Structure 1
Amino acid sequence: MQITPLNPEDPLSLGDFELLGRIGQGGMGQVFLGESPGGEPAAVKVIKPSVVDSESRQRFAQEIEVLKTIWGPRIAAFLGADAEAEQPWLATEHVDGPDLARHVKTHGPLPSVLTAALGAVLAEALSAVHTQGLLHRDLKPANVLLGPNGPKIIDFGLAAFTESHVSLTAPHQVVGTPICMAPEQAAGVKPLTSAVDVYALGALLLFAATGHYPHEAATPYMVFHLVTDPGTAPDLSGAPGELLPLLTGMLAQAAGDRPSLTDVVQQCRSVIEAQGMKIAQARRRLTTHTAGQWHKAAPADDSPTLPQPAPTTAAPETDTALDTDSAPAAQDTPVPPVSSAPAPSPTVVETVPGVTGPAVQDSPDPTPPAQRDPSEDSPREHPAPGSPPTASRRPKEGTPTLRHSLQARRTAERLRAAYAAKAPF
């Protein structure tokens, strides 16, 4: 995720959260990367001073109350907020990964089985939201983040309680993103039902599988016209055949013709199982595919621009992200540190019982005498009787060495743990 430095006019902290950089911005506000006193990363949304008024505060307060109400593994968690502050702010869980829109734009559409896995995951998450009496109302690729533990839904700024008759918008005012908006929502019909989120999810899955939306036009007004016109069918060109029945139903013009979210989950499972895979396997492949591509591209394209100290260790690169259903978060997995500079290959570090320091032993030098550096053939010093053995070859200048016995012991222990984990017995 692209992180840029704070501007001179940006706050340094909000509530208990220290602000570290800028993540992104929208029409209503700015999103910062923050950190709690305990080191928990957070996405901190702040309303722009130019739009802070009674209505924006009320809408912001509603978003806060919504986030306090909902929970789930696929929802970015609520961490804190203050709608009454001079600069109203809201902190949620920081998801380290791109949104779906950026991923498809960068890496292309998802394979059909991974699109079905995404559909099952998000439909189940939305079903939990609906169970709590809420609608999202603005589901779109930009509001689905592809983190190291799988996709998560963000931005409930337009969410509404389904049983509520109170609206913060004018009677005929439509708020949302037209490219993923259900026809009845675009037409200003009230009250809305859970079918609007089913339609939005269908538009999102069509984009994930093809890179385009059901209706596209030069202006938002033209998109509104296409969406609300019963005679204009959604553009399903390029969609895989196995997904066409699902997408056709989800993007039906009439809300009553769309499947329930439970039916969406079952149809996604059928697509996955028809390809000889289980739903858990497909979920793992989805996370591996999205997180793996993102982290391979991040060093070149999306490395944070914040000042960073020079690393002393680096973890080996991997294409595999962990499954959220059965494994801890990737950043919580202990990885034996590997020196950023190559260690001298002929040196083996071992801990000798009864000896306080490490014993460093030389393996035979395979280099022919004619190719050796003459400085390496200098007389070797022999340790005094009873003293622990030491390195018999003095390394050349600039060659990295293990200088401290404590560091050497820790390195040996970590290497043993790493090799033991890979052993077949």
Structure 2
Amino acid sequence: MQTTPLSPEDPAQIGGFELLARIGQGGMGQVFLGESPGGEPAAVKVIKPSVVDSTARLRFAQEIEILKTVWGARIAQLLDADAEAEQPWLATEYVEGPDLGKHVATHGPLPALLVLSLGATLAEGLGYVHKQGLLHRDLKPANILLGPNGPKIIDFGLAVFAESSASLTAANTVVGTPSCMPPEQANGVKPLTSAVDVYALGTVLLFAATGHLPYHAKNIHVLFHMVTDPATAPDLTGTPPELVPLLTTMLSYDAQDRPALTDVVQQCRALVEAQGLKLAQARRRLTTYTAAPPLDFPTLLPTPVSESVVPPAPMVLDPSAVPSRHQTPAVPAEPDMPGADAQPTMVLVPPPPAADEPVQPEPTASEPQDAPRRAQRAGGPPARSLRQSAQARRTAQQLREVYAARAAF
């Protein structure tokens, strides 16, 4: 997640958690990066004083109770909470990584193979939520965090028990994200079923594969009309052909025409295995791909290209190929920016000489390379070799992850 410094009006701590930075904010509250007394990082959500009333407290208390109920490897777990505090707050597991929306906006759509891995992982995670009689109701790219241990689902503020028709929302009011909302939810149908999360997951996978949602309009009323009009088909432009049948059924207008989450997992699995991979291998590739943006690895120096604009590289489904971050939509090529289809060149740090190998003499003081050493003797900061730097450690980690992704186990 991206963080920004605390503002002067922000509290220094809340509920025993020391607040370190801002993560994000919404209409109801602010989310901070916090740290427990024992050093555990946490995402601390605090309700704004201006909106604290009985209804806000009740809805916040409901979110806390739901977070106490849900579990699973794909859910950011609740750590602590207090709905009765002067400023109600809750703390959940902190996931180090961007949300899917920011990742796609920065690096472009995911290769089809990784979208299938994402779909199987999230569908299985939502299945555990549904087994507890809960619906998320607000699944969208911003609520999928791409952490070092795989994607996590967050923000159960709109979650409800599936069999309940009760609501804390005023009459004739629809709550949710319109561009990711199924028609029945947009129409205010109650009670909702598990099919609402299947539809929303379809919008997430479409966005991951193409960079756009099924319906888009600048006017909110036009957008609602598009979502609720059975004659307006979702926009699947740019979807890889192998994903079209699955996404078409997940985005069906009628809830009964959508597949169950277990069927989504099986279809994703079948498409991955058709490429000669196991789903666990595809999941490791997804984590490797999303956890290491190119800017974190400055020693990967792709071959420059001369064209001013490079066409997009095709989606990679070759089981022997490790998905590359350079297989993203085209951007104007700059002198230090690779084209979309450029192959990276590993620049590795040479190992230290063996004990019986002659050591090269140090450069003389007249050589430019001696400047850092002379600065150190003059009292300046010690020079750091590439072998000792964080850059070298990141390169080594990247190599380990690449080899792990290629492994047959």
- For the aligned pair, the TM-score class normalised by the smaller chain equals 0.7 to 0.9
Distance 2:244 2:235 in 1: 11
Contact between 2:109 and 2:207, CA under 8 Å: does it hold in 1? Answer: yes
Contact between 1:43 and 1:92, CA under 8 Å: does it hold in 2? Answer: yes
Instruction: State which of 367, 388, 395 in structure 1 corresponds to 2:361.
Output: 367
Moved over 6 A (4+): 345-348
* 2:31 partner SS: strand
Contact between 1:97 and 1:294, CA under 8 Å: does it hold in 2? Answer: no
Q: Which residue does 2:276 correspond to in 1?
A: 276
Letter in 2 for 1:34: G
Distance 2:22 2:111 in 1: 32
Pairs within 5 Å for 1:97-176: 97-176=97-176
Letter in 2 for 1:184: E
Q: Which residue does 1:261 correspond to in 2?
A: 261
Letter in 2 for 1:87: Q
Distance 2:93 2:354 in 1: 45
1:398 aligns with 2:376: yes
Task: After TM superposition, give the deviation of residue 101 of structure 1 in Å.
Answer: 0.4
Q: Against the structure 1 CA distance between its residues 207 and 297, is the aligned structure 2 distance closer, same or farther, given a 3 Å change threshold?
A: farther
Q: Which residue does 1:336 correspond to in 2?
A: none
Pairs within 5 Å for 1:21-420: 21-293=21-293, 296=296, 364-367=358-361, 398=376
Letter in 1 for 2:206: L
Contact between 2:186 and 2:228, CA under 8 Å: does it hold in 1? Answer: yes
Letter in 2 for 1:255: A
Task: After TM superposition, give the deviation of residue 297 of structure 1 in Å.
Answer: 7.6
Q: Against the structure 1 CA distance between its residues 25 and 294, is the aligned structure 2 distance closer, same or farther, given a 3 Å change threshold?
A: farther
> How high is the TM-score relative to the length of structure 1?
0.72
Letter in 1 for 2:361: T
Distance 1:92 1:145 in 2: 13
Deviation string, structure 1 residues 50-102 (Cα, Å, up to 9, x no partner): 11111111000000000000111110010010011011001001111100000
After superposing the two structures, state which structure 1 stretch, 95-104 or 212-221, moved more: 212-221
* 2:234 partner SS: coil
Distance 1:113 1:346 in 2: 42
Contact between 2:182 and 2:199, CA under 8 Å: does it hold in 1? Answer: yes
Q: Which residue does 1:333 correspond to in 2?
A: none
Contact between 2:2 and 2:98, CA under 8 Å: does it hold in 1? Answer: no
Contact between 1:98 and 1:294, CA under 8 Å: does it hold in 2? Answer: no
Letter in 2 for 1:241: P
Letter in 2 for 1:208: A
Distance 1:208 1:132 in 2: 27
* 2:117 partner SS: helix
Distance 1:149 1:48 in 2: 31
Letter in 2 for 1:17: F
Pairs within 5 Å for 1:8-19: 8-19=8-19
Matched residues, number: 326
Q: Against the structure 1 CA distance between its residues 79 and 364, is the aligned structure 2 distance closer, same or farther, given a 3 Å change threshold?
A: same
* 2:172 partner SS: coil
Task: After TM superposition, give the deviation of residue 221 of structure 1 in Å.
Answer: 1.8
Unaligned runs of 5+ in 1: 299-318, 321-341, 349-361, 375-394, 402-421
Letter in 1 for 2:259: P
Deviation string, structure 1 residues 124-176 (Cα, Å, up to 9, x no partner): 00000000000000000000000111100000000001122321012321000
Contact between 2:133 and 2:161, CA under 8 Å: does it hold in 1? Answer: yes
> How high is the TM-score relative to the length of structure 2?
0.75
* 1:19 partner SS: strand
Task: After TM superposition, give the deviation of residue 372 of structure 1 in Å.
Answer: 5.5
* 1:9 partner SS: coil
For the aligned residue pairs, the C-alpha RMSD in angstroms reads 2.7
